[in-house]
Amino acid sequence: MSIEKGTLEIKALSKSFIVDGNPLQILNNINIVFPAGAFISIVGSSGCGKTTLLRIMLGLETQYEGDALIDGEKIVGPGLNRGIVFQDHRLLPWLTVGENVAFGLEKLKRKEKKLIVDEHLKLVGLSGFVSAYPSQLSGGMAQRVAIARALASKPEILLMDEPLGALDALTRMYMQKELERIWLFEKISMIMVTHDVEEAIYLSDKVVIMSSRPGIIKKIIDVPLPRPRDRASSAFMQIKAEILKEFHLETEYPFAYAI
């Protein structure tokens, strides 16, 4: 059976880093399929290996045991079929918004580039800002440009590492709605790391819960709620409680308070 485009598969994956000359296991036997077209979030405590896992999916880390496959093929490096959005927008300050979005499209003709830039700035609601510079944008607007840039090369999968983490609470909720709208429009797979459990439930088909030392997948929780989701509904709250319970179980108190 052929694999649908946009499927990412992690099989028996373990990853260690050398720390102080010794191997330190970061990820242990990760097995998961990110189905084509799904929105999946990954939550887990700081340091449990979420960014490392994303870097493996991007092809930036290639030293590990096990397999990371896109559309059934081993990931050997970064590729245009995967886009990335980080917590900080990473726009180039000396380029305009339009030039930033066009940054990965250097092989295309000017006219084609312009069409793609216009299309994607419209998608993220920034049509009038093509000539603005990043310093003239708010945090939410800059992050929209980063999303437009990542989508401009038409990836099958958009990977996001805490993409809304630097925004204030209200802008963040607004951007969650925007991200949902973009996902529904683009119909591509999205994989998002977040520390915000509500954000994960609001956006995702499934929430992957990781725990640390070494990082494992502790639980995968389905979110079968209709969209757009009502954060105040009892079904939403119930799923939130179910996820938070997983965190309370692994809460550690490593700090002693000196009196």
Residue 104 DSSP code: G
**Omega into 155 within 30° of 0, i.e. cis?**
no
Choosing among ligand ATP, Mg ion, none, which partner's interface includes residue 16 (Cβ < 5 to 8 Å by kind)? Answer: none
Tell me: does residue 192 bind ligand ATP (CB under 6 A): no
Alpha-carbon distance of 50 to 129, in angstroms, equals: 33
Name the residue among 144, 146, 147, 152 with its Cα closest to residue 102: 152
For the CB of residue 252, give the shortest distance to ligand ATP in the complex, in Å: 14
Assess 212 for contact with Mg ion (CB under 5 A): no
Query: Closest separation between CB of residue 80 and ligand ATP, Å?
Result: 24
Of 40-48, 62-70, 132-140, 141-149, which part binds ligand ATP (CB under 6 A)? 40-48
101 versus 146: smaller Cβ distance to Mg ion: 146
Q: What angle do CA 43, 186, 99 make, to 5 degrees?
A: 95
Any idea what the Cα angle at residue 246 is, between residues 241 and 247, rounded to 5°?
Answer: 95
Q: Find the shortest distance in angstroms from Cβ 162 to Mg ion.
A: 7
Contacted by 19, from ligand ATP, Mg ion, none: CB < 5 to 8 Å by type: ligand ATP
Place of tokens 């969650």: 176
Helix/strand/coil for 175: helix
User: Which residue type, as a one-letter code, is found at position 10?
Assistant: I
Q: Does 50 bind ligand ATP (CB under 6 A)?
A: yes
The distance of closest approach from Cβ of residue 203 to ligand ATP in the complex, given in angstroms and rounded to an integer, is 18
Applying the rule CB under 6 A, the residues between 7 and 36 that interact with ligand ATP are 17, 19, 26
Total interface residues for Mg ion by CB under 5 A: 1
What is the Cα–Cα distance from 259 to 246, expressed in whole angstroms? 31
| Residue of the chain from 30, 48, 56, 137 that contacts ligand ATP (CB under 6 A) | 48
What lies within 8 Å, CB to CB, of 185 at 6+ separation is 123
> Do the beta carbons of residue 40 and residue 209 sit within 8 Å?
no
Tell me which of 16, 28, 51, 171 binds Mg ion, using CB under 5 A: 51
- Binding partner of 28, given Mg ion, ligand ATP, none, CB within 5-8 angstroms per partner class: none
Note the residues at the interface with Mg ion (CB under 5 A): 51
Note the residues at the interface with ligand ATP (CB under 6 A): 17, 19, 26, 44, 46-52
